Amino acid sequence: MNYPALAGRTAVVTGAASGMGAATARLLAAHGANVALLARREDRLKQLAADLEPTAAGRLLVAPVDVTDQASVDAGAALVRAELGRVDLVVNAAGVMLPNPIDDGRVDEWTRMIDTNVTGALRMIHAFTADLVATAAAGGTADLVNISSIGAHTLFPNYAVYGATKAALTFLSQSLRTELGPRDVRVTNVEPGLTETELGNHIDNATLGNDGQLGDMFAAIGALAADEVADIVGYVASRPRHVNLRQIVVQPTRQA
């Protein structure tokens, strides 16, 4: 689809090194937005920026940021403002999915998911809330888009902690509308179902990963493309400023 309303906007996209984050960055850049690409893997960000440069109508900024590190987030936010100015669109797409039985006691995985999926999103929200509020106060369109998951409310065995982190992000989005909505900042929570990303590559349990349970789901159901989720972000952010699509659940047709 064509989203002319995105032209000239200034966006920050976390998790831009791959998957839904990279796809969202591509879409925003293609429609004329200035886009700050945030992720840990600087080499991947530079490659994405090089791929986008020939057709991007707006400016692109590579900003290596680890959302689990406050100093890294602070430095990244300062770089974005210095290079691109005030941000009016924040897309929290950074995430990690590490399923395992709860009785395995994988504190390392629990901590990583909580730090990335919940606290990392909070760090980014705090870093740019003032920008969003100032944009809205000046009459502009301001958006916070959080990429959650249907795991926030759909139960899968061995995904308890992952689902809990996504439920927290979904609830956070709902709650933030009570704080930011009255100041004309839109908050949207997007919950994708089964989607082709690199999340499955992080799973170290062979029975649950791409060659096990997750792979069986892909084979039986089929999956969304990351670009299809990005298209939803583009649609959300291009609505008239008084229209807030607060919650969108998107999944493959065959996924119950």
**Which active-site residues does the annotation give?**
162
Q: Rounded CA gap, 124 and 147, in Å?
A: 13
For every residue of 192-218, DSSP letters joined together read E-SB-SSGGGG---TTTSTTTHHHHHH
How far apart, in whole angstroms, are the C-alpha atoms of residue 17 and residue 64? 10
Distances (CA, A) of 24 to 28, 31, 204, 211: 6, 11, 27, 27
- Cβ(52)–Cβ(62) under 8 Å? no
What stretches of the chain show up as alpha helix (H) in DSSP? 19-30, 42-52, 70-84, 107-113, 121-137, 160-180, 213-221, 226-237
Give the pair of three-digit tokens for residue 179: 């704080």
> Tokens at residue 63, please?
């900003």
Q: What is the DSSP string of 30-60?
A: HTT-EEEEEES-HHHHHHHHHHHTTT-SS-E
